[in-house]
Structure 1
Amino acid sequence: MAFLFGRGRSRQPADIARATKELLLRIHETPSSKTEEDLAKQLSQMKVIVQGTQEVNTSPEQVHALVQATLQEDLLYELSHSIHLLPFEARKDTQTIFSHILRFRPTSYAADKDPPVISYIVHHRPEILVELCRGYLQSQSAMPCGVILREALKFDVVAAVILYDQSKDGEPAVRLSELKPNLPQRGDGIFWHFFDWIDKSNFEVSADAFTTFREILTRHKSLITAYLATNFELFFGRFNEILVQSESYVTKRQSIKLLGEILLDRANYNVMMAYVESGENLKLCMKLLRDDRKMVQYEGFHVFKVFVANPNKSVAVQRILINNRDRLLRFLPKFLEDRTDDDQFTDEKSFLVRQIELLPKEPIDRNRPARDGHSANTATVA
């Protein structure tokens, strides 16, 4: 057995990381089945170090040494850049290795601090995150990259880099210290590509991209509220045009549901108020109520109710509702009337009918003082 122990001692984490990087470079230049096989073996050894097996426990010292070696060799970038070229099992191993390394904390490391690899990435190598996002460009890498991204997105600094990066292909990505959250974006950074990845990719890629997109938009509330406030027109313009009006039923339904979640989140109150001031947004929403598919109608209803329930409706929104009052009062009582077991939905429909009945005859500009007591009372009721 001595030869086994001798061989084990020669395969230190630094050696494995170095060999893996060399093979990754080779697979780009001269791909071959032999290179793929050797690379799969190296990644399998890395996975054993970070995860262990039923027979072998992990060693914090070995894991720490591997983490340091991967950073020294810039291996995380090379893996994220090359994952689509790896065989299936090697991609799964890469996903496991990445996820363990991202959350690894040395024994003496403070529990309230971001893991060291997360800090390293956002301060020194954010290109790793950009490459992981670009994993959605190939179906082979979409799901493993998505799993890694969602592990990284547990930390708000990662979400911030993805949201605010505006680098182009071949340019350095934005470092955490370089973020300019108050500067409106152009709409060509890595985050904005998610709209097309969701809308134009095959089902598996689209579904995974949407899961990551939703994670970005719902997990770190204060970050997203500020981002949406600064980029309101650009974001909701694309969201409405590309996702809410997607030809894909699944994308359309999920996007309307996500829109409702964003608007009804208390953290996004100011964003919601800005959204429901728009007459165009209301027209889009009313169009959803007439969709042939019941679940699209249902999700659209949950956005429509925000417009109607808002006590401070804009003139544009009031005008649309007033002009369509009679049609809405005929339409809503029969709308999805087969949902007899959904008491909340039934109550909400009744509430909206009452609110529409109470609308004034003409829109009231709440930015102007009421001319007489009657106008003031009408405004209050509406």
Structure 2
Amino acid sequence: MSFFFRMASRMRPSTPEEVVRSIKDSFLALSSKTSARALEEVEKNISSLRQLLSGDGEAEPNQEQVVQITVEICNEDVLPVFVQNLPSLGWGVRKDLVHCWCILLGQKVDDSYCCVKYIEDHAELLDFLVDCYKNWDIALNCGSMLRECIKYPALAKYVLGSNSFELFFEYVELPNFDIASDALNTFKDLLTRHETVVAEFLSSHYEQFFELYTRILTSNNYVTRRQSVKFLSEFLLEASNSKIMKRYILEVHFLNIMIGLLKDSSKNIRICAFHVFKVFVANPNKPRSIIQALLDNRRELLKLIRNLPASKGEAELDEERDLIIQEIEKL
């Protein structure tokens, strides 16, 4: 070890309290004056934090120290400082900060996740992260941080029930493909990670949710339309969502949307729409309105289904198509 390296090591903060204080001070200096020197200090501190939390490639991190740093970060209110200063940071330091964020959230202190509890008590941080999808420079960083948060049921529940959740229906149509796809991934995580949380949310927000979802199903944006119908076909057919599916297939409005998507110029959209449409037809307890809509469109539907293109990996498609044709012909 060189003399200069030993000297530098001695000058670095040594205790968890000193480490966190140094990080916070450097961010506060950045807030008061955005200079190259201030940015350099923040970058150095976050790089050091990453090394302390995940090791240096040769030695594993000291887990006791990691826990102590986590506690201090919560005690010193450093998480809001991280989030609020993201727009001022460069690409490299944001990447390091996201890495540190993921490790910190996963630290258990006395049988609870210290940082998760902190965010639960300061839920405006979640709103800020959702809102950051509007800032294309930091959108992907915030998306990663947000997905880490919603691994935890309490935080996912907050986002689902917040006004911020509705923003995702706008984000999935953003013209920037990478950001729109990232927002869709977050949206999917919110609706698939925690079955009980999602069931409670949809039971109390059913009309509002599907009214918004209908907009993206009928979007002029091909990618949005394709991804939204694909996700719906997967989501409704999950066993955990059977109650939502049974409610969905009673509504003629939603049947008409699927009929419209069966006419789409995209082969993939037509196949995904069929996987939702077939549930309407196969339902043994179809209400009269559904039966009438199928009868009114019978000739066209039979033609659309017979012309449904074959799809790789869809071994059961032909069999399902024949069964649905038979059901419609029996009406």
TM-score, length-scaled by structure 2: 0.92
The alignment yields a C-alpha RMSD, in angstroms, of 1.9
Say yes or no: does 1:117 pair with 2:121.
Answer: no
Q: 2-side partners of 1:201 and 1:62: how far apart?
A: 44
Say yes or no: does 1:240 pair with 2:238.
Answer: no
Following TM superposition, by how much is the alpha carbon of 1:46 offset from its aligned partner in structure 2, in angstroms? 0.7
Following TM superposition, by how much is the alpha carbon of 1:201 offset from its aligned partner in structure 2, in angstroms? 4.9
Gaps (5+ residues) in structure 1?
A: 166-188, 360-382
Q: 2-side partners of 1:130 and 1:340: how far apart?
A: 41
Among residues 106, 126, 146, which one is paired with 2:123 in the alignment? 126
Match in the other structure for 1:21: 24
Following TM superposition, by how much is the alpha carbon of 1:314 offset from its aligned partner in structure 2, in angstroms? 1.8
Following TM superposition, by how much is the alpha carbon of 1:27 offset from its aligned partner in structure 2, in angstroms? 3.3
Match in the other structure for 1:202: 176
Q: 2-side partners of 1:96 and 1:340: how far apart?
A: 38
Match in the other structure for 1:153: 150
Secondary structure, aligned partner of 1:154 = coil
Following TM superposition, by how much is the alpha carbon of 1:340 offset from its aligned partner in structure 2, in angstroms? 7.9
Secondary structure, aligned partner of 1:140 = coil
Following TM superposition, by how much is the alpha carbon of 1:70 offset from its aligned partner in structure 2, in angstroms? 1.1
Change beyond 3 A, Cα 1:29–1:297: farther
Following TM superposition, by how much is the alpha carbon of 1:222 offset from its aligned partner in structure 2, in angstroms? 1.6
The farther-off stretch of 133-142 and 37-46 is 133-142
Q: 1-side partners of 2:305 and 2:168: how far apart?
A: 35
Q: 1-side partners of 2:15 and 2:313: how far apart?
A: 63
Change beyond 3 A, Cα 1:276–1:147: same
Q: 2-side partners of 1:275 and 1:342: how far apart?
A: 24
Q: 2-side partners of 1:266 and 1:275: how far apart?
A: 14
TM-score, length-scaled by structure 1: 0.81
Secondary structure, aligned partner of 1:313 = coil
The farther-off stretch of 346-355 and 305-314 is 305-314
Partner letter of residue 356 of structure 1? I
Secondary structure, aligned partner of 1:231 = helix
The C-alpha deviation readout for 1:42-91, integer Å capped at 9, x for no partner, is 11011111011123321122212211221122111111122122101100
Partner letter of residue 321 of structure 2? K
Q: 1-side partners of 2:39 and 2:8: how far apart?
A: 24
Secondary structure, aligned partner of 2:250 = coil
Say yes or no: does 1:217 pair with 2:191.
Answer: yes
The farther-off stretch of 149-158 and 13-22 is 13-22
Among residues 15, 34, 37, which one is paired with 2:40 in the alignment? 37
Gaps (5+ residues) in structure 2?
A: none
- Name whichever structure is richer in helix by fraction: 2
Following TM superposition, by how much is the alpha carbon of 1:11 offset from its aligned partner in structure 2, in angstroms? 4.1
Change beyond 3 A, Cα 1:71–1:341: closer
Change beyond 3 A, Cα 1:140–1:14: farther
Q: 2-side partners of 1:217 and 1:66: how far apart?
A: 32
Following TM superposition, by how much is the alpha carbon of 1:151 offset from its aligned partner in structure 2, in angstroms? 2.0
Following TM superposition, by how much is the alpha carbon of 1:269 offset from its aligned partner in structure 2, in angstroms? 1.8
